[in-house]
Amino acid sequence: MKNIWKQFFRPTPKRLVKWGYALLGVSTFVTASAISGNVKWLAYTALGIGVLGKFLTDFFTEQKE
């Protein structure tokens, strides 16, 4: 488990950072649209996927051990 958290604090490749922010942005838009349309299951799902996806992109690094 220690090695996993070491990966989190290492630099993330720029391509994956862009994917993470794009995923978070799209999920935010979908969440806002679902809330205004009163589709709660879609709002919660999109929010969870966006936050989890952005968090998981931080575990990818360019450095090899």
Question: What are the boundaries of each domain within the chain?
Answer: 2-57
Whole-structure pTM value: 0.71
Write a three-state SS string for the chain.
CHHHHHHHCCCCCHHHHHHHHHHHHHHHHHHHHHHHCCCHHHHHHHHHHHHHHHHHHCCCCCCCC
Say yes or no to pLDDT of 52 above 70: yes
Q: How far is Cα 46 from Cα 22, in angstroms, rounded to an integer?
A: 13
- pLDDT tens, 27-47? 999 999 999 999 999 999 999
What percent of the chain has a predicted confidence (pLDDT) above 90? 42
Say yes or no to pLDDT of 13 above 70: yes
